């Protein structure tokens, strides 16, 4: 157990180092920089001397390794640096935006897990028409683009029926009802593919488990189908489902940029898109660091779920 924890810590630290270092390199290769963006906002023309002074003021005239070393030093002291444009602490800025992103991500994973698992179990128990419907729904969920589904939901539920707001985000502390209403459309949009993916994976895993010998023995002992499915088969089939939910969580963390921009949600994805457009290197690196920490946490959660579902994993 101690070795496994040590390996996890070392791999997580290595992942954080690689991701942040690559972020520095890739952003530096993009045309333009923050100094040009700031000067362009202040005036349509500026001299080369003004440009160099701004670069020196921002600290981006230093070699890239020196900039990264400075960023690592701040990180070791608990700081992600300062936003080049607003002067705000990046830790504070991301702290304000992580709530909306996590609300959408966790809401999507929860909805996909509950609905997808339920449909998968139903399909496994009642093969035939129900199975074909699940397959068709999975194919449709994979094929339908998120932005098209978002437009459809906004047109139907926000503009015509006026049931939910077309965009924006209400913090949980301000209003629980408003928070839930602001999450319905983005979560529903992102859950379409997730529900289909989880349902298909659950059905395949449950079909395999229900045909196993121990299930036949349980039936011979007179256990009801409901008891067999809930208490025995579902737990044995949960491994692949947990993997799918972990992959879904990771993909949502990096793929919610379009949805956050579409629904005007002030999350990490929207912040990353804005920082990329202005070449705000400290902010981009801070967002990448935050995303990586969330991915590491998601992987840890999946690993712990495996160990809970199958205690033998922890002894390996």
Question: What are the phi and psi torsion angles at 134 (to 5°)?
Answer: -65, -40
Q: How far apart are CA 202 and CA 200, in angstroms?
A: 5
- Say what the pLDDT of residue 276 is: 82
User: In whole angstroms, what is the distance from residue 112 CA to residue 1 CA?
Assistant: 31
Residues 140-173: tens digit of each pLDDT? 777 788 888 899 999 999 999 889 999 999 998 8
- pLDDT digits 0-9 by tens, 266-312: 988 888 888 888 888 888 888 888 888 888 888 888 887 877 776 65
pLDDT higher than 70, residue 262? yes
Residue 121 and residue 202 in contact, taking contact as beta carbons nearer than 8 Å: yes
Tell me the domain boundaries of the chain: 1-78+279-316, 96-268
Q: What is the pLDDT of residue 205?
A: 87
Best-predicted range by mean pLDDT (44-53, 101-110, 220-229, 245-254):
101-110
What does pTM read for this prediction? 0.83
Task: Give, in degrees to the nearest 5, the angle at Cα 211 between 305 and 316.
Answer: 35
Alpha-carbon distance values, 267 to 96, 151, 261, 298 (Å): 8, 20, 9, 18
What tokens were used for 7? 């390996």
Confidence of residue 182 (pLDDT cuts 50, 70, 90): very high
Pick the more confident residue, 139 or 69.
69
Q: What is the pLDDT of residue 184?
A: 93
What class is the 96-268 domain?
mainly alpha
């Amino acid at each position: 157990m101690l070795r496994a924890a040590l390996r996890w810590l070392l791999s997580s630290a290595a992942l954080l180092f690689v991701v942040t270092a690559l972020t520095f390199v890739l952003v530096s290769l993009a045309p333009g920089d923050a100094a040009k963006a700031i000067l362009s906002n202040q005036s349509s023309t500026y001299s080369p001397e003004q440009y160099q002074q701004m670069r020196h003021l921002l600290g981006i005239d230093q070699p890239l390794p020196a900039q990264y070393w400075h960023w690592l030093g701040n990180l070791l002291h608990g700081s992600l640096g300062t936003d080049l444009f607003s002067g705000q602490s990046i830790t504070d800025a991301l702290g304000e935006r992580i709530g909306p992103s996590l609300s959408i991500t966790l809401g999507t994973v929860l909805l996909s897990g509950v609905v997808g698992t339920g449909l998968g179990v139903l399909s496994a128990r009642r093969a035939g028409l129900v199975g074909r419907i699940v397959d068709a729904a999975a194919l449709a969920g994979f094929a339908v683009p998120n932005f098209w589904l978002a437009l459809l939901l906004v047109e139907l539920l926000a503009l015509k029926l006026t049931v939910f707001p077309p965009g924006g985000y209400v913090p949980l502390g301000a209003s629980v009802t408003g928070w839930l209403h602001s999450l319905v459309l983005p979560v529903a949009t992102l859950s379409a593919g997730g529900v289909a993916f989880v349902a298909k994976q659950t059905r395949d895993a449950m079909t395999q488990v229900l045909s196993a010998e121990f299930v036949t023995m349980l039936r011979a002992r007179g256990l009801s189908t409901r008891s067999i499915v809930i208490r025995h088969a579902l737990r044995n089939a949960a491994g692949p489902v947990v993997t799918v939910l972990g992959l879904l969580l990771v993909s949502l963390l990096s793929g919610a940029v379009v949805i956050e921009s579409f629904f005007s949600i002030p999350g990490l994805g929207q912040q990353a898109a804005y920082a990329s457009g202005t070449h705000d290197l400290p902010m981009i690196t801070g967002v990448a660091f935050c995303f990586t920490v969330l991915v590491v946490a998601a992987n840890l959660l999946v690993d712990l779920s495996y160990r809970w579902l199958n205690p033998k994993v922890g002894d390996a």
